[in-house]
Amino acid sequence: MKYRISKKQHTLPLDKVHEECGVFGIAAPDGQEISAAHEAYVALFALQHRGQEAAGIAVNKNGVIRCHKDVGLVSKVFSQQTLDSMPGQMAIGHVRYSTTGDTRRENAQPISITHVKGNLAVAHNGNLVNAGQLRREIELNGGIFRSSSDTEVLVYTIVRERLKCGSIEEAVQRTMSVIEGAYCLVVMSPRKLIAARDPRGFRPLCIGMLEGSYVFASETCALDALGAAFIRDVAPGEICVVENGVLRSLYSEKQCPTSACVFEYIYFARPDSVIDGASVELARQEAGKYLSIEHPVGADVVIGVPDSGIPAAIGYAKYSGIPYGVGLIKNRYIARTFIQPGQDKRERSVRLKLNALRTAVEGKRVIMVDDSIVRGTTCARLVKLLRDAGAAEVHMRISAPPFRHPCFFGTDIPERSQLLAHGRTVEEMREIIGVDSLGFLSIEAARKIAVGCKLGFCDACFSGEYPMAVPEQAEKNMFESELPDPK
């Protein structure tokens, strides 16, 4: 079987699975004066961890939609002058990390269009498994695409359905019967703000209230940044419609078991977020607890790899009785897009990002906890840092199961052959990384860490058990590649 895999060339200094996108929406009732663009800006700042490639905001003023977007971080894309020039009482926003489509401005979101029945802006988090098929159908009917992302496919599909029905929410409902995969949407028409979540609930989406305005966000941390009150999560398959300050819901006609992405709790989401009733911080501490039960080892100190490995390290220390310590220091002034200075200088880039604290590890048996292992190259360099700082032993514990399978639902997992766990035993991985022992969280434990979560989980990247039929291979736009050498 051929799998859809990511072949993006990343310049990130650390070896990680990359984040999802983040979406936001806000709508004030008629007569309430707010600056929706400024509110969206604050929310996107809080969601910046979910995507650093591009950012955008679309604002609605009296039915006219204006959009500003570009590649780069939120602080780079928007200035005070830009935000001041975007008045309006309704807005949607997006931060992007691309899992389909390349990094260029055309793929930035929101996507804003004008069609025969009005204006429309859409922002999307997730990945459609049947985007290639839908795109081909649209192109054969004369559709012209400006981007290579599946979000534009989604927009075309919504517009096509809108031409056949009486409202934008009904068009979204019909679209949800056609598309397959993971998605959370915020959709803005001249009079309505709509938020929708796929029937399986792969990606998070919540509802809040800010001084009479309804807000939607990928994570509750964005509500906290705004000072908005959390109301509830958007239910899988739910379509929320806000019109003149009133919220109502309708639902997708698809009925299926829920399968939220378990990696949201392990790595993607901010630890101060609460997703579907479960605290992300406490879920990571639970992962550490299960690691201490499943993979105990004698040691003097437990340390976490900043930042996402720290809560699991605290959990491991708490339940094992081994003291927790700060063993790795993170340089917070290195941008995520820091360019590697050549293959032979990769170790230097790791030292720029992280360095060992000698006083905490010298002469000690160290347990180093991290959230995941992808290729394993960074893990090996971190182990060397600890040994160079005098650690007597280094035991590595991973708060996720081994990555062995591709993801079709928005997580950017490298080609299978690049995964350390592909075709290797834990002992073989231990030897490559250079640790004294290595332990991964079991799949069974990963399914239990999100205490209080109301949904089932998707862990296909670990187990290979996909919650829906997946394509044998991805549809690729042939015009994204350079022409072959005529020789």
First to last CA, the chain: 33
Verify cis geometry, omega within 30 degrees of 0, for the bond prior to 110.
yes
Instruction: Verify whether residue 21 is a known catalytic residue.
Output: yes
Secondary structure (3-state) at 449: coil
Q: Determine the Cα–Cα distance for residues 132 and 129; give it in Å rounded to an integer.
A: 8
Contact by Cβ (8 Å): 417, 388: no
Query: Rounded to the nearest 10 degrees, what angle do helices 150-162 and 131-140 cross at?
Result: 60
Secondary element (H or E) of residue 59: strand 54-61
Collect all residues with Cβ–Cβ distance below 8 Å to 142 and sequence separation of at least 6.
Answer: none
Collect all residues with Cβ–Cβ distance below 8 Å to 413 and sequence separation of at least 6.
Answer: 5, 6, 17, 374, 403, 405, 406, 407, 419, 461
Contact by Cβ (8 Å): 259, 463: no
Spot the catalytic one: 21, 206, 221, 453: 21
Nearest to 438 by CA among 369, 390, 388: 369
Strands 457-458 and 260-261: parallel
Contact by Cβ (8 Å): 399, 347: no
CA angle 206, 212, 217 (to 5 degrees): 20
244: tokens are 């003149």
Between the CA of residue 150 and those of 36, 125, 155, what are the distances in Å? 26, 10, 9
Strands 328-330 and 274-275: unpaired
Q: Output phi, psi for 200, to 5 deg.
A: -90, -15
Residue 197 β-bridge partners: 184
Distance of CA 83 to the CA centre of its chain: 25
Instruction: Please compute Rg for the chain using Cα positions.
Output: 23
Residues with catalytic roles: 21
